[in-house]
Amino acid sequence: MSGGTRLWGGRFSGGPVEAFDRLNASLATDQRMWAQDIAGSVAHVSMLVTCGILPGEDGEAVIRALAQVHQEFATDQFTPAASDEDIHTAVERRVTEIAGDAGARMHTARSRNDQVATDVLLYLREALVGQLAGLRRLVDALLEQARQHVDTLVPGYTHLQRAQPVRLAHHLLAYVWMLARDRARLVQVRDVSLMECPLGAGALSGVGFPIDRARTATALGFARPTRNSLDSVASRDALADYLHAVATLGVHLSRMGEELVLWSSEEFGFVVLSDGFTSGSSMLPQKKNPDAAELARAKAARLIGDYAGLQNVVAKLPLAYNKDLQEDKHYLFDAVDTIDLLVPAVGGMVMTARFQPERMLQACEAGYLAATDLADHLVRLGWPFRRAHEAVGQLVRSCAERGVGLGDVSPAELAAAGLAGITPPPVTAEASAEAKVAEGGTSRERVLEQLAAAEAEVGAW
């Protein structure tokens, strides 16, 4: 590495050994923030000129050079050298090549510590725009499927045992509410966590020039500068908030993925996933594998790992900046990239999935999903619930022994279970679902009400 590209050569007589250089360099990771780094420098240099810290002509020369470097990056004409330690070094080197001494003044009243803390916030803010839009498309796909399947009944499960029938719309809306909470967390990241600008904190203690921090904060779209210079360069809370939010989102998509894997199996047959989101087997010609759903299931591990990784890097660090913090971007970018891949794929998979109402209905009626409804019926006749539960349990056992459904019980069986003279209500899945009239339940009216509430909420996003 030539001494010219190092930002801190003066103090050192010998250069670093190659093994250290390779460990220390973050360019390969942080190069993707080139546009944010340039934007931060433009705001900083303009402020320096306004505050009389940098002569106007130097400022103009630097800003012209920054515009040129932007253009060079955008058109692939400038590729940082492997010897540029990080993106900040690369941009400053190139600006100085273009603007000479004026360029060498750009870093006045700034440290890479406050610079990098600012760049990542700008990067994340921009990434969130597309991610929130992708999340919206996924939720819209769920809502569209829910509208199509208000009258489709599917077994609801506990312990993965058929429990009670629910409307498929009700099941899909469960995910809509999970994702709505995920969105609220991401909006909180955007509107609160990302709102304070660290620029102007310097290396750790602040800056000894009469800078105007509010000016750079506003120019870069922040609400205000951070309050404490140490906190500004030492904290990565905004990143942690984002990683926490997407880890939870990942958990939700993982559960959805698992259900789509199960439901698309021959054993369930509840859904046919579109060819576009499945793959074949190189050996078994009949196979259609739900790869997208499986990957949705797996990516949660990665997102949770990214959150845990960042927090583990920050924990135990003494204030203020430590080089450990350079690792923050590894976790942040991995999560950003994972969400960018995952959410559109899940959205497309949901949109193109073909649910199978007949198979679902068969599954509802094959089990004893109306058993609780029969017990509820007895309760309405005045039975204590616990006794009703016992009697219906006996009835289910004798039906199961004969291999018949609750709709086929004989008067003798009713009598044997202590239910002589009882006329069981219709035991259809539809009647069972319709009985769940309390708020948040799966009766048609309640589901339509829930769907309208979800549409209203999502419509306001």
Interface stretch with ligand ARG, choices 109-117, 133-141, 278-286, 408-416 (CB under 6 A): 109-117
Interface positions, 38-97, toward ligand ARG (CB under 6 A):
86
Q: How far is CA 329 from CA 172, 239, 252, 323, 373, in A?
A: 35, 9, 24, 12, 54
Any catalytic annotation for residue 159? yes
Tell me which of 5, 6, 26, 252 binds ligand ARG, using CB under 6 A: 26
State the catalytic residue, choosing from 159, 193, 389, 432: 159
Answer whether 120's CB lies under 8 Å from 333's CB.
Answer: no
Q: Which is nearer to ligand ARG, 285 or 318 (CB)?
A: 318
With CB under 6 A as the contact rule, which of the stretches 74-82, 94-102, 323-331, 425-433 interacts with ligand ARG?
Answer: 323-331
Q: How far apart are CA 286 and CA 230, in angstroms?
A: 61
Looking at 281, 330, 398, 443, which residue is catalytic? 281
User: What residue type is assigned to position 375 of the chain?
Assistant: A
Q: Which part of the chain contacts ligand ARG (CB under 6 A), choosing from 234-242, 290-298, 321-329, 343-351?
A: 321-329
How many other C-beta atoms lie within 10 A of the C-beta of residue 65? 24
Closest CA to 137 of 458, 424, 447, 393: 458
- Residue nearer to ligand ARG on the CB measure, 29 or 131: 29
Q: Which residue carries 């929130």 as its tokens? A: 132
Q: How many residues bind ligand ARG (CB under 6 A)?
A: 9
155, β-bridge pairs: 165
Q: Does 121 bind ligand ARG (CB under 6 A)?
A: no
Give the whole-angstrom CA distance, residue 136 versus residue 105.
Answer: 45
Among 414, 415, 441, smallest CA distance to 425 is for 414
Short-list 28, 14, 36, CA closest to 84: 28
Q: Which stretch binds ligand ARG (CB under 6 A): 46-54, 101-109, 110-118, 437-445?
A: 110-118
Q: Is 281 a catalytic residue?
A: yes
Residue 226's CB: how many other CB atoms inside 10 A? 23
Q: Omega of the bond prior to 320 within 30 degrees of 0, cis?
A: yes
User: Which listed residue (248, 278, 326, 356) binds ligand ARG by CB under 6 A?
Assistant: 326
How far is 192 from 185, CA to CA, in rounded Å? 10
Is there binding between residue 30 and ligand ARG (CB under 6 A)? Answer: yes
* Lookup result for tokens 């969400």: 339
Query: For residues 89 and 408, what is the distance between their CA atoms, to the nearest angstrom?
Result: 79
Give 296 or 325: the residue with its C-beta nearer to ligand ARG: 325
Taking the least distance from each CB to ligand ARG, the nearer of 107 and 149 is 107
Least distance in angstroms from the C-beta of 220 to ligand ARG: 18
Q: Which is nearer to ligand ARG, 86 or 306 (CB)?
A: 86
Q: Which is nearer to ligand ARG, 216 or 326 (CB)?
A: 326
In the complex, which residues of this chain contact ligand ARG (CB under 6 A)? Answer: 26, 30, 86, 112-113, 116, 323, 325-326
Residues marked active site are found at 159, 281
